[in-house]
Chains A and B, each alone.
Chain A
């Protein structure tokens, strides 16, 4: 894939999809999301009697002159939501080794989310977290930003170990943070920066990418080797396959519980799942398995 052209089919499938904020946005720039600010927008909502302490500048002076009653003119503001999509480029994402299905799926999800955020008029950026640091684009709303994000993603290759937590710490300028990863690094360390952002009124979406081969490894016996920790070499045989599947499922359940308990949106996706369907699900704020309307 080269630039956004390689993702054309995906972006076409997502045309018209918007990504509304789950909470009132705090941004001051006029956008499409409901803002937490009141009063400066010309969009009228309602009148409210003046109370001591209200800003006198928000009084409807014409109504006061006409009726001699002091009312405030209540308006709803619309704001933009700065969105950052962080993509884990650790060695564990380069799996399976031949097809790189996890990495390709993560890239497509990142471009899809970037596309719908951009379509919603939000400044959007992509950060690729590599073993040598995070490669980030600047958050922009202008045309061509999706292409720019696609180029950064295509230039990266997953390898080594990455510090996803550090990348999340430095993403404080974004009000909506998407983390696309397999979370096989220290998952607990990611919850702290996520909670901080959520506490500031931001949104965090944890998108967990799992390869089909990880859910159901090939039949027979292999000496399973961790690509990030070479000392982990264990025999995955028909005898140990059930215990492996059970341990992996328990860990996924724990991960989902932790992210959701922190207030984040957690979604798990298998590498074979169509990326546009995952993106739509995230945009609607649904969980996996919930029926599409």
Chain B
């Protein structure tokens, strides 16, 4: 334990000593004694200064001394001196939509993370997890936001400043899919501010998740599928087209071009009945009352299945593009198309065709610049933190305030006695 500004503590000790001395020279109420002629004594305040051989009001003295010391300690800024290690790691973990699955991300980080390391999950926002990082990692989910290496590097720089007293050097590890969208103009500058090398751990890049799909749908706005595709809605130039019911010849011909996806979504009739269904695709699941149909799966790839194993979304190659058939329709009532799970299913249905739509990752040159060269970062080179906030400060202030309140109540009781 050390103090940021020990002069406050010294001042507090001085004040506490003065209080103890004042208790030896307290203004005391004299000893009561019967005197029939008391009326001839001048009527003055019934207290007078006296030197006590030992302090009276021990409880009051203790309350005052502890209150002063607690407040002085709070102002002095106590800082716990952690155990110092040679190297500490800062693990920047990409949890953005560019990461294909959460499991590889968790496994990669778990294999790296040691006790005392700092975990920094990031997408466009950043969290710093200094304690129980492994436990936090187990509940870390992938987000739908894009990654930002700039935000992660800024966080790493700040964390490194707090590690000056804990380690001699800091190793920066970036666990990411390194999607091209994670790089921006500020990234090279921010990377240059980190005067050490970084270790890069590459995660599988999510297919089609590097950018939001753009969908053109020929259906009225009141159509439930149109409502589900609204977040991705675009003009007729989009590479993804959704048709309700059977596709026309033009639609099928349009699909032949490179990278185009035709989603054939059946339209339920008024006589069709709703059943409670669960549609599962990788980590995503859609649970809702749906109008279910059956699909032929022999010549296609199943992208999503119902809970009973039947195909819910089947992809078939067509020319340089592909068609996808959906085996259910939403109810025309309710909010199912507006749910997040419906939006995710729509993103899966509109993802690029297999083997054709993998989003671009960072170029080798950018990866090399991100990796850097040289030694690990020496903590002495890290920026010094202007002010360290310790949780003990708040507690000491609260304790001091409580002690002063108790002292006030005690003093009133002693005076009235």
Measured CB to CB, the residues of A under 8 A from B are 91-93, 95, 97, 182, 184, 211, 213-214, 217-218, 220-229, 232-237, 239-240, 243-244, 247-248, 251
Given the known A-B contacts A224-B41, A243-B42, are A184 and B30 also in contact in the complex, defined by CB atoms under 8 Å? no
How far apart are the CA atoms of A235 and B43 in the complex, in Å?
8
Shortest CB distance B233–A (Å): 90
Are the CB atoms of B40 and A248 closer together than 8 Å? yes
Are the CB atoms of B37 and A235 closer together than 8 Å? no
Measured CB to CB, the residues of B under 8 A from A are 29-48, 50
Q: Secondary structure at chain A's binding surface: helix, strand, loop or mixed? A: mixed
Q: Secondary structure at chain B's binding surface: helix, strand, loop or mixed? A: loop
How far apart are the CA atoms of A244 and B43 in the complex, in Å?
10
Task: Write out the residue numbers on chain A whose beta carbons fall within 8 Å of the beta carbon of B40.
Answer: 244, 247-248, 251
How far apart are the CA atoms of A221 and B37 in the complex, in Å?
15
Given the known A-B contacts A92-B36, A95-B36, A235-B30, are A221 and B48 also in contact in the complex, defined by CB atoms under 8 Å? yes
In addition to A235-B45, A240-B42, 7 A-B residue pairs with Cβ atoms within 8 Å of each other are A184-B39, A224-B33, A225-B35, A229-B39, A234-B43, A235-B41, A240-B41
How far apart are the CA atoms of A182 and B37 in the complex, in Å?
10
How far apart are the CA atoms of A240 and B38 in the complex, in Å?
11
Task: Write out the residue numbers on chain A whose beta carbons fall within 8 Å of the beta carbon of B37.
Answer: 184, 214, 224, 244, 248
How far apart are the CA atoms of A247 and B44 in the complex, in Å?
15
Are the CB atoms of A97 and B34 closer together than 8 Å? yes
Given the known A-B contacts A232-B39, A234-B41, A248-B40, are A239 and B48 also in contact in the complex, defined by CB atoms under 8 Å? yes
How far apart are the CA atoms of A236 and B33 in the complex, in Å?
10
Q: Which 8 A-B pairs have the closest CB atoms?
A: A92-B36, A224-B38, A221-B30, A224-B35, A234-B41, A222-B33, A247-B40, A235-B46
How far apart are the CA atoms of A25 and B33 in the complex, in Å?
47
How far apart are the CA atoms of A97 and B39 in the complex, in Å?
18
7 A-B pairs with C-beta separation under 8 A:
A211-B36, A214-B35, A222-B33, A224-B35, A226-B39, A233-B38, A237-B30
How far apart are the CA atoms of A237 and B37 in the complex, in Å?
14
Residue with the greatest number of chain A CB neighbours at <10 A, chosen from B30, B41, B45: B41
Are the CB atoms of A225 and B50 closer together than 8 Å? no
Q: Closest chain B residue to A214 by CB distance? A: B37
Task: Write out the residue numbers on chain B whose beta carbons fall within 8 Å of the beta carbon of A239.
Answer: 48
Task: Write out the residue numbers on chain B whose beta carbons fall within 8 Å of the beta carbon of A234.
Answer: 38, 41-44, 46
How far apart are the CA atoms of A214 and B35 in the complex, in Å?
7
Are the CB atoms of A223 and B36 closer together than 8 Å? no
Are the CB atoms of A244 and B36 closer together than 8 Å? no
Given the known A-B contacts A223-B30, A235-B30, A239-B48, are A217 and B42 also in contact in the complex, defined by CB atoms under 8 Å? no
Given the known A-B contacts A232-B39, A244-B40, A247-B40, are A225 and B45 also in contact in the complex, defined by CB atoms under 8 Å? no
Residue with the greatest number of chain A CB neighbours at <10 A, chosen from B36, B39, B41: B36
Are the CB atoms of A227 and B46 closer together than 8 Å? no
Given the known A-B contacts A234-B42, A234-B46, are A228 and B36 also in contact in the complex, defined by CB atoms under 8 Å? yes
Are the CB atoms of B46 and A233 closer together than 8 Å? yes
Name B34's contact: one of A95, A182, A247 (CB within 8 Å). Answer: A95
Task: Write out the residue numbers on chain A whose beta carbons fall within 8 Å of the beta carbon of B38.
Answer: 224-226, 232-234, 236
Shortest CB distance A11–B (Å): 29
How far apart are the CA atoms of A221 and B42 in the complex, in Å?
13
How far apart are the CA atoms of A75 and B45 in the complex, in Å?
69
Task: Write out the residue numbers on chain B whose beta carbons fall within 8 Å of the beta carbon of A233.
Answer: 32, 38, 46
Task: Write out the residue numbers on chain B whose beta carbons fall within 8 Å of the beta carbon of A223.
Answer: 29-33, 46
Are the CB atoms of B32 and A222 closer together than 8 Å? yes
Task: Write out the residue numbers on chain B whose beta carbons fall within 8 Å of the beta carbon of A95.
Answer: 34-36
Are the CB atoms of A226 and B29 closer together than 8 Å? no
Are the CB atoms of A214 and B36 closer together than 8 Å? yes
Task: Write out the residue numbers on chain A whose beta carbons fall within 8 Å of the beta carbon of B42.
Answer: 234, 240, 243-244, 247
Task: Write out the residue numbers on chain A whose beta carbons fall within 8 Å of the beta carbon of B36.
Answer: 91-93, 95, 182, 184, 211, 214, 226-228
How far apart are the CA atoms of A233 and B39 in the complex, in Å?
8
Shortest CB distance A240–B (Å): 5
How far apart are the CA atoms of A93 and B37 in the complex, in Å?
11
How far apart are the CA atoms of A182 and B50 in the complex, in Å?
33
Task: Write out the residue numbers on chain B whose beta carbons fall within 8 Å of the beta carbon of A213.
Answer: 35
Given the known A-B contacts A235-B48, A244-B42, are A217 and B35 also in contact in the complex, defined by CB atoms under 8 Å? yes
Q: Closest chain B residue to A251 by CB distance? A: B40
Task: Write out the residue numbers on chain B whose beta carbons fall within 8 Å of the beta carbon of A236.
Answer: 30, 35, 38, 41
How far apart are the CA atoms of A182 and B41 in the complex, in Å?
17
Q: Closest chain B residue to A91 by CB distance? A: B36
Q: Closest chain A residue to B45 by CB distance? A: A235
Task: Write out the residue numbers on chain A whose beta carbons fall within 8 Å of the beta carbon of B32.
Answer: 222-223, 225, 233
